[in-house]
Amino acid sequence: QSALTQPASVSGSPGQSITISCTGTSSDVGGYNYVSWYQQHPGKAPKLMIYDVSNRPSGVSNRFSGSKSGNTASLTISGLQSEDEADYYCGSYTRSTTLVFGGGTKLTVL
């Protein structure tokens, strides 16, 4: 159950778009369409932003979108806003019938 690989940090200016990658293997990200993304502000519980690779829960802004190619999933945030500054985690179902998270990416809005 190795953690999925995410960049430690990404940054962007207000109004720009950024993409966070999440790399796994064919036993997790690449093998199933059960990738999810979570936003976490300091001291707060995680919030689900994307599930099943590209589905947005009700109430999540359409500025957030998800995709997958091979063993790498991506979260794209368009029209960056200051409130998007947070930690982001990807998660994936695995062949071992478990859930594995990425190490997290700190998004800084410049």
Partner 1 sequence: QVQLVESGGGVVQPGRSLRLSCAASGFIFSNYGMHWVRQAPGKGLEWVAVIWYDGSNKYYADSVKGRFTISRDNSKNTVFLQMDSLRAEDTAVYYCARRVSGSSAPWAADYWGQGTLVTVSS
User: Where on the chain is the footprint of partner 1 (CB under 8 A)?
Assistant: 1, 3, 34, 36, 38, 40, 45-48, 51-52, 55, 57, 87, 89, 91-93, 97-104
In the complex, least distance from residue 104 CB atom to partner 1, rounded to whole angstroms: 4
Q: Which residues contact 54 (CB under 8 A, 6 or more apart)?
A: 65, 66, 67, 68
| Nearest partner of 106 among 12, 7, 4, judged by Cα | 7
Residue 82 or 97: the one with the smaller Cβ distance to partner 1 is 97
Least spacing, CB of residue 69 vs partner 1, in Å: 20
Q: What is the C-alpha to C-alpha distance for residues 49 and 104, in angstroms, rounded to an integer?
A: 14
